[in-house]
């Protein structure tokens, strides 16, 4: 199953499938090249998806900003979700870079633990994810029919409600799995921003 993953499969991953892959690797003390390759495939696919989404939200935010005089209140909500998402993604990029510098093989089980379990980095990551979640929820309160947004917010909600979230994803986790998980969080944040900015752009341009 894992060896047959393709880049296009990432967009079809359910949360359960992704967690299953994380669980399998974190309980394998000496992960095979097959499994590491599967994670690298998923991470690259997520990276491509994140690049497309980032370009999309840049374009939508620029259009909103150019028309902000039409609805300053909505434009300010766009400011909030866009800037919070950018900050969160930049922070996660820095975490991934730190881990890759410390472990070029992706095999070590201690790097993610030392960086993201019971540390200031864990609290900072939670803070950035919480800011995206809060900005989205503030917007959602004005748009109760946005079922797509409700679904997209579920992974970020878990970080706010599950006290063991950092241990679940990063404790004794091989570096390759931890960096992939951060890419998944980036995808979640940017997807949420794309949904909101797309809706705001449509409303501002009406």
- Closest Cα to residue 95, out of 119, 60, 67, 74? 119
User: What is d(CA 148, CA 157) in angstroms, rounded to the nearest whole number?
Assistant: 14
- Closest Cα to residue 159, out of 137, 130, 180? 130
Q: Please give the torsion angle defined by the CA atoms of residues 175, 177, 178 and 181, in that order, rounded to the nearest 10 degrees.
A: 160
- Closest Cα to residue 182, out of 26, 22, 24, 31? 22
Residue 7 within any structural domain of the chain: no
Residue 59 within any structural domain of the chain: yes
For residue 153, what are the domain limits?
A: 13-25+32-204
pTM of the full structure: 0.85
Task: Print pLDDT tens along the chain (206 aa).
Answer: 333 333 334 444 445 455 555 555 555 545 667 777 888 888 888 999 999 999 999 999 999 999 999 999 999 999 999 999 999 999 999 999 999 999 999 989 999 999 999 999 999 999 999 999 999 998 876 664 578 888 899 999 999 999 999 999 999 989 999 999 999 999 999 999 999 999 999 999 88
Residue 2 within any structural domain of the chain: no
Structural domain tally of the chain?
1
Residue 42 within any structural domain of the chain: yes
Task: Write the CB contacts of 30 (distance below 8 Å, at least 6 apart in sequence).
Answer: 107
Residue 3 within any structural domain of the chain: no
- Closest Cα to residue 57, out of 85, 77, 94? 85
Residue 67 within any structural domain of the chain: yes
Residue 4 within any structural domain of the chain: no
């Amino acid at each position: 199953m894992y060896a047959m993953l393709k880049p296009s499969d990432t967009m079809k991953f359910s949360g359960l499938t992704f967690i299953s892959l994380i669980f399998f690797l974190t309980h394998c003390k000496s992960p095979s090249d097959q499994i590491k390759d599967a994670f690298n495939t998923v991470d690259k696919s997520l990276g491509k998806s994140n690049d497309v989404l980032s370009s999309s939200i840049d374009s939508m935010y620029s259009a909103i900003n150019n028309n902000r005089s039409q609805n300053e209140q909505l434009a300010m909500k766009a400011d909030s979700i866009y800037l919070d998402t950018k900050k969160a993604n930049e922070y996660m990029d820095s975490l991934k870079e730190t881990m890759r510098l410390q472990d070029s093989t992706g095999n070590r089980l201690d790097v993610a633990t030392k960086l993201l379990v019971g540390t200031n980095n864990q609290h900072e990551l939670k803070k950035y994810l919480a800011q995206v979640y809060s900005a989205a929820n503030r917007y959602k309160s004005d748009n109760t029919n946005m079922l797509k947004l409700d679904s997209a917010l579920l992974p970020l909600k878990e970080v706010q409600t599950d006290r063991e979230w950092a241990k679940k994803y990063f404790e004794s986790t091989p570096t390759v799995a931890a960096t992939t998980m951060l890419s998944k969080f980036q995808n979640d944040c940017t997807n949420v921003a794309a949904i909101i900015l797309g809706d705001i752009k449509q409303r501002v341009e009406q």
